[in-house]
Structure 1
Amino acid sequence: MGSSKPLQAVIFDWGGTLTRWHDVDFHAESHALAQAVVDAEHHSAAEITTRLHAAGDVVWGRSRDHQQSATIADLFTEAGLEHDPELLDAYYAFWEPHTATDPECRPMFEELRAMGLRVGVLSNTIWPREWHVGFFERDGVYDLVDGDVYTSEIPWTKPSAQAFAAAMEAVGVDDPAACVYVGDRLFDDIWGARQAGLGAIHVPLSTIPAAQVGHTEGEPHAVVHALSQVPDAVRRLG
C-alpha cells in the first residue's frame, strides 16, 4: 500500500463477502415484497409485482450511479404503493436463507482482533440495521464487530468516500491509510475503497449481475479466495 503507518482496522462488505454469493430470483423477491402492499385491491398482483421489480431497478440504479442510499420504504414509494412494515414477513423469509454468515468468518475475525485490529462492516443495503445485526447475532459473530454501518441509515452508498468515512468513524479510525476494506465488487468495494484512501482486498467469489456493475473496476492491493486468507493478506499489506 505504500504506507509506513500501522494498520488499525479491517472493514468488510457483507453480501457476497461475509456471506457466500447466492443467485437470486428478483421476480420472486418482488412477489414476496408485494405481500406488504396495503392497497392491493386497487392493482392486480401482476402489476404490483412488476412495479416493485422496476422500483428495485431504479433504487439500485441510483446507488450505482449516484451513490444515493435508500430504504425498503423508499422502494415502495418509488413503486407508488403503500405498504405496512409489519407485513414484510414474506420478504424477510425470502431473503433469510441467503443471509448465512460464512463459517470462516468468526475464526477470521478472532485472528484479526488478536493482531490488534478493529473489525468493521459497511454494507450497501435497503434493509434496516436490526435485520443485519440479527443475522450476525444469530450466527454468533456480532460480538467481534467493533463498528458497523448499513447504508439504509446514511445518505450515501459505496463507492462514495463518505460511506467509507462513516464506516471508519464507526470503528474509531480517522486515517484511511490505517484501514483495509474487503469486498467482492470491483466498483463499489475496491474502486470505492481506493478512491477513499483505504487499502483494498478483493474476494472474487461472486457473480455480479451486469446491471449492478459500475463504470470502473478498481485494482485491489491483494486478492483472496477465502475469508481464512484475509489475515495473511492484511499482514502483507500492513
Structure 2
Amino acid sequence: MRRPAFLSPDPDSPFPPADAALRQPDGLLAVGGDLSPQRLLNAYRHGIFPWYSEGQPILWWTPDPRMVFRTEGVRLSSRFRRELRRSTWQIGADTAFGSVIKACAGTPRPGQDGTWITDDMRAAYLELHRLGHAHSVEVFDVDPSGESRLVGGIYGVAIGRMFFGESMYSGESGGSKVALAALAFRLREWGWPLIDAQVENPHLSSLGAESWPRSAFLENIDLLTGLPEAPGNWSQRFGIIEAAALAEVRSD
C-alpha cells in the first residue's frame, strides 16, 4: 500500500513530485514538516497546500482534479446582481486580515468536522501576511454614519501573478460571493488570470470554478508564480470597490 512521504525537518527540503500523491484520499502527498514561510511558499509554488485538523500531523495535499477560477469567469446570478445594485457594502484588502482568518476558522470545510484552521495555521498565515505574501479581501457594511461592520471575506497566498485561495466566509448572506467577485475583478485588472480554489465542491462550481487536470494546473502556476510581482500590503493598491459596481461586471 502506498503511503505519503514524511518530510524532512529542514524547511528548505523539497516536496515529492505531485504524481506521487495518493488517489485515496485524493491528493495526499506528504506528512510532517512545519509551517515556516519558506516551506509554505515552496509548497504553493508547486501546487501543494496544508490541510489538517487539530491533533493530526501536518498533511500536505495536491488533489487531481484541481478547482480553479478564471478571474474573468466568476459568475453571480441575475437575482444576486439585482440585490447588489441596492447594496451599501464596500470591499477593501489587507485591512482586517486577522479578523478574516478568525472568521474563516469558524466556517466548516465541506467533508471535514470542526475547524481545519488550527492555532498554528493562523499564526503561520499571519506571519505570511506580515511578510506581504498572504492577503485578505474584506467586505464591510457601511451605515450612513460611516460605521462599518465586517460581513464577509476571503484570504489566500499570492506568488508572482498567481493567487491561491485558502478560505472564505459570509457573516451575512452573500458576503463571501462579494469578496470573491471583488478579488477576481481586481486581479483581472492587474493581469492575474487565475485563482486556485483547491478542492471541488458544488458551491464553487455554481460560482464559475472549473475542474482542471492537476497537470494543467501545475503547468499554469509554474509560469504565473515566476512572473515579477513584489510582495507587500495590498490596501492602497486594491483600493475600495463598491459592491453595487460588481453588479455590472460580466463574466466571460
TM-score by length of 1: 0.27
Structure having the higher helix fraction is 1
TM-score by length of 2: 0.26
